[in-house]
Structure 1
Amino acid sequence: MYTGSFNNLILNSDSYKTSHWLQYPPGSEYMSSYVEARKGDYDTVFFGLQAFIKEYLQAPITSTHIDEAEMVIKAHGLPFNRAGWERLVEKHGGYLPIRIQALPEGSIVPVSNVVCQIVNTDPEFYWLPSYLETTLLRAIWYPSTVASLSYYCKNVIKTALEKSADNTDSLPFKLHDFGARGASSMETAALGSLANLVNFSGTDSMTALVAASRWYGMDKDMPAFSIPAAEHSTMTAWGRQRETQAYENMLDQFGGDGNTVAVVSDSYDLWNAIDNIWGDALKDKVETMGGTLVIRPDSGDPAKVVREALERLAVKFGTTINSKGYKVLPDYIRLIQGDGINPQSLGKILNTIMEAGFSAENVTFGMGGGLLQQVNRDTMSWAMKASAIQIDGEWIDIFKDPITSRAKRSKKGRLALVKDSNGTLNTIKEQALENPADNLLQDVFVDGKLLVDDSLTTIRERTGW
């Protein structure tokens, strides 16, 4: 039985990496690699590197890690660079002799630009940057993809609010994270939900709150909020015959001045719930409880259901016309659509309700699998590639340029990211910098030390909060 701990960085790699130290040319001294999103439908919102560094790179490699890794890797059928790892412990106390440069987290950059670059700082460890590819790329691509998708959705909603609402004040709470249960692991939920909080302030993932405190300095300020909300079990437990009592109980328990309560209302017949329960039997209580009732449909075609729900609520509760000429329900009643939401359906729903004359301010959205799980590395074609090597004192550009796929052509040389006179971000070679201070890539980790420690508040500000 071969055991290994999940906090052993040597084992946090692809198997074939263990043989690569023998594959580089004689005289190899430094290896430089970069990370980019090669293509995609969204601009890149860079996020997650600080979490990875704090969780995995600040603790040293130990002799125990080396012994454990050797046992696993040799039994796995691969060579093990014991001398190299022992030398790392002996010479650097187990701390990684690497330099990681990156964009400030929360920065927004077009795809096909460098966002992170890694190089070893000791020529004995030329093999180390590429050995870390698996774990470093994974640490970046997932939270950055979620943050990028979430930012795209934020702009879709913002555009709709600017067109149909008096203001955009409600925007931070217009997309609520429902994705924790659909994520593949607790760490996935923590990272993905936290990435969404770069753009929004609503979540039902308490793991994200822990992550914000652990990795981004939010131990005093609460980074996100939620409200009391019903699920089908709490509604159907009353039985179909007592559906009205189930809803009334929600108002009694959680209503009141300034309070908001969400009630899933399609356990049986959504239209009956709107027309006869909320809009008739409980209408007076809804109107006078002092807070806001948020009705949640949870099935059917989202665009059609949301439009019809708004139309029925308008009949029962009336509407006013805002300054943009769109209908708005009374402040005490709203709708949340949390089923079937993704970047495409989101725009479709908003367009459908605005075409029907309703303001986007009537509706909030919840997003689960479409936010945290229906993404992969290919969503934005993330890659980490070696772009330069120093051999016997000379830097050499290296790259891939497969004739069978021009899309996989990689960049050459030590890289920098700069902003031109038009404000456009471009990747250039480091030696082309006229002024090193123009390079937007900054040192964030050098030789075991974290040099940048941003709060989530600071990161949010970079996205335009």
Structure 2
Amino acid sequence: MFTNNFNNFILNTDSYKTSHWLQYPPNTEYVSSYIEARGGNNSFENVLFFGLQAYIKEYLSKPITQSDIDEAKTIFSAHGVPFNEAGWQRLIDKHQGYLPLRIQAVPEGMVIPTGQVLCQVVNTDPEFFWLTSYIETSLLRAIWYPSTVASLSYYCKQLIKAGLEKSADNLDSLPFKLHDFGARGVSSYESSALGGLAHLVNFLGTDTLSAIVAGNRWYGMSEEMSAFSIPAAEHSTMTAWGREYEADAYANMLSQFGEAGKTFAVVSDSYDLWKAIDNIWGGELKEQVKNTGGTLVIRPDSGDPIKVVREALQRLAAKFGTTLNTKGYKILPSYIRLIQGDGINPTSIQKILDAVTSAGFSTENITFGMGGGLLQQINRDTLGWAMKTSSARVDGYWRDVYKDPITSVSKRSKRGRLALVHHQGSYMTVREDELAEQNNILQDVFLNGELLIDDDLTTIRERTKH
């Protein structure tokens, strides 16, 4: 009878994995596998590693129980696949239900070129050689998704940083230049938590509250708050006033949130964005905007992002004026800015930045918001993630294990027990038995049920800067 226990780790795998303990060579003792981002069909040359600690705390810190085994036995029997009941029972009897595994990985937050080993797993008890591959489904998923979001966010940060270096006097605003709007666009609450938290490795702005909860749960914060947001309007709150009272809706926003030192955002394209900028914000409400003491952030939400952002800045400049920074680029008054949250991805970010600076405006004037493009429009192939067995000890001898398909060179896998080393200003994967005096960047993170490294988000954020 099913217990509906959604947290049964034995069931956190693919069906075909349940038969693999019967498929290894006789007298197999140890199986060693690694995870890498092989690289995808995109411009990402680097991967920002993130998410392993969350997985270990959430899934590997709890022991397998008798009820887990009983439930798995019932389900697998009905499902039509074998079940290694004796093996899991032995796990409880010998290891109190904790997995006899050693997991090594690069420190979270490190930025590593694609194609290099990032994580390595091997069993520590020869009776459980089958465990290494069994956890592939959950472990790979736990790493590829947050690491891909973190890598995408990091890539966008480099684009925006270059824009600021070109057109702004400093980089003070960079941590808030890409805001996460993705919570509603992902497949689950856990996805929003993991993806949103991965974004916060690079930035401080989010509307994904689950990311803050996740940060506190899995990466104990050393700061009081890991991310920030502002009051903001949506179309329903603006259009509820009616088209003829659009100015009143905006005036209410100024009245409710226009305080000294405060920032708030107002979506302004419910009807006619250009009328809103020229006649309402820059006309009827101009003096109120100037005198709030805070900052109004106008948000377009439709049209061609490149054209809309450029024209919006030009119209705002005509109504509110600009000053020139030391690099000769125009800056709107500090009380008014622009955020573009529609149609944002790495390609559009770069095009918008180019259009903005070509028009003579500093990147300081604009912030970006990213939703599904940040947290959902990625998959395992975005960076070519894979977990492969590379070595096994059989009858007391280690042997290389690899695939080398003649039909796909890109799927050729690595061989042997692996290590990652510094090499000519970058990183390179080598065999562990060829390390010699080189330092292995892979660190022991998990051993036989125990988390060995517990980093906070602040530490991880600092690593991205090196």
TM-score (norm 2): 0.98
Contact in 2 for aligned 1:213/1:219 (Cα 8 Å) = no
Residue 70 of structure 1 pairs with residue 73 of structure 2 = yes
**What is the CA–CA distance in structure 1 between the aligned matches of 2:118 and 2:272, rounded to whole Å?**
50
Residue 181 of structure 1 pairs with residue 180 of structure 2 = no
User: What secondary structure, in the 3-state scheme, does the structure 1 residue paired with 2:381 have?
Assistant: helix
Contact in 2 for aligned 1:3/1:72 (Cα 8 Å) = no
Mapping of residues 320-399 of structure 1, within 5 Å: 320-399=323-402
CA deviation string 1:80-99 (max 9, x = no partner) = 00000000000000000000
1:132 to 96, 121, 135: 135
Matched residue, 2:442: 441
Amino acid at match of 2:140: L
Q: CA deviation at 1:192?
A: 0.2
2:196 to 193, 196, 218: 193
Contact in 1 for aligned 2:222/2:458 (Cα 8 Å) = no
Amino acid at match of 1:291: G
Contact in 1 for aligned 2:219/2:454 (Cα 8 Å) = yes
Amino acid at match of 2:36: E
Residue 271 of structure 1 pairs with residue 274 of structure 2 = yes
Matched residue, 2:105: 102
Q: CA deviation at 1:219?
A: 7.1
Q: CA deviation at 1:4?
A: 3.8
Matched residue, 2:428: 426
User: What secondary structure, in the 3-state scheme, does the structure 2 residue paired with 1:26 have?
Assistant: coil
Flag as ranges the 4+ runs of structure 1 deviating above 6 A: none
1:145 to 141, 144, 148: 148
Q: CA deviation at 1:220?
A: 5.2
Residue 229 of structure 1 pairs with residue 232 of structure 2 = yes
**What is the CA–CA distance in structure 1 between the aligned matches of 2:101 and 2:305, rounded to whole Å?**
49
User: What secondary structure, in the 3-state scheme, does the structure 2 residue paired with 1:378 have?
Assistant: coil
Amino acid at match of 1:87: R
Residue 410 of structure 1 pairs with residue 413 of structure 2 = yes
User: What secondary structure, in the 3-state scheme, does the structure 1 residue paired with 2:107 have?
Assistant: coil
Matched residue, 1:252: 255
**What is the CA–CA distance in structure 2 between the aligned matches of 1:362 and 1:86, rounded to whole Å?**
62
Q: CA deviation at 1:321?
A: 1.0
User: What secondary structure, in the 3-state scheme, does the structure 1 residue paired with 2:76 have?
Assistant: helix
**What is the CA–CA distance in structure 2 between the aligned matches of 1:223 and 1:374, rounded to whole Å?**
24
Matched residue, 1:28: 28
Residue 37 of structure 1 pairs with residue 40 of structure 2 = no
**What is the CA–CA distance in structure 2 between the aligned matches of 1:6 and 1:58, rounded to whole Å?**
16
CA deviation string 1:17-75 (max 9, x = no partner) = 00000000001000000000001332100000000000000000011000000100111
User: What secondary structure, in the 3-state scheme, does the structure 2 residue paired with 1:60 have?
Assistant: coil
Amino acid at match of 2:141: R
CA deviation string 1:337-375 (max 9, x = no partner) = 000001111101110111111111100000000000000
Matched residue, 2:315: 312
User: What secondary structure, in the 3-state scheme, does the structure 2 residue paired with 1:457 have?
Assistant: helix
**What is the CA–CA distance in structure 2 between the aligned matches of 1:282 and 1:251, rounded to whole Å?**
9
**What is the CA–CA distance in structure 2 between the aligned matches of 1:261 and 1:18, rounded to whole Å?**
53
Aligned residues: 463
User: What secondary structure, in the 3-state scheme, does the structure 2 residue paired with 1:379 have?
Assistant: coil
**What is the CA–CA distance in structure 1 between the aligned matches of 2:368 and 2:223, rounded to whole Å?**
28
Matched residue, 1:239: 242
Q: CA deviation at 1:434?
A: 1.3
Unaligned runs of 5+ in 2: none
Amino acid at match of 1:198: V
Residue 81 of structure 1 pairs with residue 84 of structure 2 = yes
TM-score (norm 1): 0.99
**What is the CA–CA distance in structure 2 between the aligned matches of 1:181 and 1:400, rounded to whole Å?**
40
Residue 208 of structure 1 pairs with residue 211 of structure 2 = yes
Q: CA deviation at 1:424?
A: 1.5
Amino acid at match of 1:34: Y
Contact in 1 for aligned 2:222/2:456 (Cα 8 Å) = no
Matched residue, 1:166: 169
CA deviation string 1:126-176 (max 9, x = no partner) = 000000000000000000000000000000000000000111110000000
Residue 302 of structure 1 pairs with residue 305 of structure 2 = yes
**What is the CA–CA distance in structure 1 between the aligned matches of 2:348 and 2:6, rounded to whole Å?**
38
Contact in 2 for aligned 1:212/1:219 (Cα 8 Å) = no
Matched residue, 1:458: 459
User: What secondary structure, in the 3-state scheme, does the structure 1 residue paired with 2:118 have?
Assistant: strand
User: What secondary structure, in the 3-state scheme, does the structure 1 residue paired with 2:275 have?
Assistant: helix
CA deviation string 1:315-354 (max 9, x = no partner) = 0000111111111100000000000001111101110111
**What is the CA–CA distance in structure 1 between the aligned matches of 2:6 and 2:50, rounded to whole Å?**
23
Aligned CA RMSD, in angstroms, stands at 0.9
Q: CA deviation at 1:2?
A: 4.4
Amino acid at match of 1:146: V
Amino acid at match of 1:350: L
Contact in 1 for aligned 2:420/2:440 (Cα 8 Å) = yes
Amino acid at match of 1:8: N
**What is the CA–CA distance in structure 2 between the aligned matches of 1:192 and 1:32, rounded to whole Å?**
28
Residue 157 of structure 1 pairs with residue 160 of structure 2 = yes
Q: CA deviation at 1:256?
A: 1.2
**What is the CA–CA distance in structure 2 between the aligned matches of 1:344 and 1:67, rounded to whole Å?**
51
**What is the CA–CA distance in structure 1 between the aligned matches of 2:4 and 2:138, rounded to whole Å?**
16
1:284 to 287, 304, 322: 287
